[in-house]
């Protein structure tokens, strides 16, 4: 059985796409969605799919002992889907190569502290880029810097706005993130 822990801070459209992709699979289980944001749309998504939610307290998240809570779920994979807090080192070490993230740009460009959600798309448009895209990568101790597992590009049209670009990029995320996750699962 592949237990997948999802961490999300926002609307949860990626979480929805992932839960949808795996809904008929009996080798995959989502024991818990962890969020830092009591107002996150992802909480409604979790309810819809009958997945439990753990609301995180920042101080507890920083505590090394929190790994015991994570370990309870025996995650094969920890998947960040729009999760905005930095992952503490104890967790990166404890789940080395077992934690992945999706970023709404072509890393190493437009990554790092402060580069999330609409900030990314605004920066890409302001720089007159011809293309943007998505990056799925392994999480290491530096923001947005782990080994890249997949990148997909979109062309930026004339008159593109951060909002229209965000829509295009999200569509790509919804198509590809689950496929990458699937490729990392075990058949045991
Ligand atoms: C997604 O575009 C994801 O790539 C981005 O947040 C959005 C979450 O949307 N993540 C980052 O910017 C991380 N640096 P969602 O809540 O609808 O899935």
d(CA 59, CA 45): 26
Q: Is residue 67 part of a domain?
A: yes
Q: Is residue 188 part of a domain?
A: no
Candidate from 15, 19, 82, 106 with most ligand 1 atoms within 8 A of CB, to mutate: 82
Q: CB count, 10 Å around CB of 87?
A: 19
Q: Nearest residue CA, atom 6 of ligand 1?
A: 82
Span 71-83, pLDDT tens digits: 999 999 999 999 9
81 CA distance to ligand 1 centroid (A)? 6
Q: Sheet containing 148-155: which strands, arranged edge to edge?
A: 53-55, 28-35, 2-7, 77-80, 99-103, 131-138, 148-155
Would you place residue 186 in the very low, low, confident or very high pLDDT band (cuts 50, 70, 90)? confident
Q: Is residue 80 part of a domain?
A: yes
Candidate from 46, 80, 104 with most ligand 1 atoms within 8 A of CB, to mutate: 104
- Given this model, what pLDDT does residue 187 score? 79
Q: Is residue 40 part of a domain?
A: yes
Q: Is the pTM of this model over 0.75?
A: yes
Q: What's the count of helices (H) and strands (E) in the chain, helices before strands?
A: 7, 7
Assign residue 92 the CATH number of its domain.
Answer: 3.40.50.170
| Residues with a CB atom less than 6 Å from ligand 1 | 8, 10-14, 81-82, 102-104, 116-117, 120, 170, 173
Q: Work out which ligand 1 atom sits closest to the CA atom of 117.
A: 12
Specify the range with the lowest mean pLDDT, choosing from 15-19, 105-109, 113-117, 137-141: 113-117
Q: Which domain holds residue 50?
A: 2-102+135-149+172-183
* Domain count of the fold of the chain: 1
Cβ atoms of 20 and 26 within 8 Å: the answer is no
Cβ atoms of 99 and 92 within 8 Å: the answer is yes
Q: Is residue 164 part of a domain?
A: no
Q: Nearest residue CA, atom 1 of ligand 1?
A: 82
Q: How many Cα neighbours within 13 Å face the side chain of 111?
A: 21
Would you place residue 94 in the very low, low, confident or very high pLDDT band (cuts 50, 70, 90)? very high
Q: Is residue 167 part of a domain?
A: no
Which residues are 3's β-sheet partners? Answer: 29
86 CA distance to ligand 1 centroid (A)? 14
Task: Indicate the SS3 state at residue 150.
Answer: strand
Q: Is residue 123 part of a domain?
A: no
103 noted as active-site residue: yes
d(CA 106, CA 141): 19
Span 37-49, pLDDT tens digits: 999 999 999 999 9
> Residue 133: which H helix or E strand, with range?
strand 131-138
Would you place residue 188 in the very low, low, confident or very high pLDDT band (cuts 50, 70, 90)? low
Q: Work out which ligand 1 atom sits closest to the CA atom of 120.
A: 12
- Given this model, what pLDDT does residue 167 score? 97
Q: Is residue 10 part of a domain?
A: yes
Which residues are 80's β-sheet partners? Answer: 7, 101
């Amino acid at each position: 059985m592949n237990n997948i822990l999802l961490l999300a801070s926002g609307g949860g459209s990626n979480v929805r796409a992932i839960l949808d992709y795996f809904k008929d699979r009996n080798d995959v289980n989502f024991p818990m969605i962890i969020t830092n944001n009591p107002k996150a749309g992802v909480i409604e998504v979790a309810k819809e799919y009958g997945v439990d939610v753990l609301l995180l307290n920042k101080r507890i998240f920083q505590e090394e002992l929190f790994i015991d809570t994570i370990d309870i779920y025996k995650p094969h994979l920890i998947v960040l889907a729009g999760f905005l807090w930095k992952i503490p080192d104890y967790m990166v070490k404890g789940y080395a190569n077992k934690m992945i993230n999706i970023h709404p740009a072509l890393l190493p460009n437009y990554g790092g502290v402060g580069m999330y959600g609409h900030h990314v798309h605004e920066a890409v448009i302001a720089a007159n880029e011809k293309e943007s895209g998505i990056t799925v990568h392994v999480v290491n101790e530096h923001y947005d810097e782990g080994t890249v597992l997949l990148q997909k590009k979109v062309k930026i049209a004339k008159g593109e706005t951060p909002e229209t670009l965000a829509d295009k990029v999200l569509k790509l995320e919804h198509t590809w993130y689950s496929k990458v996750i699937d490729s990392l699962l075990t058949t045991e």
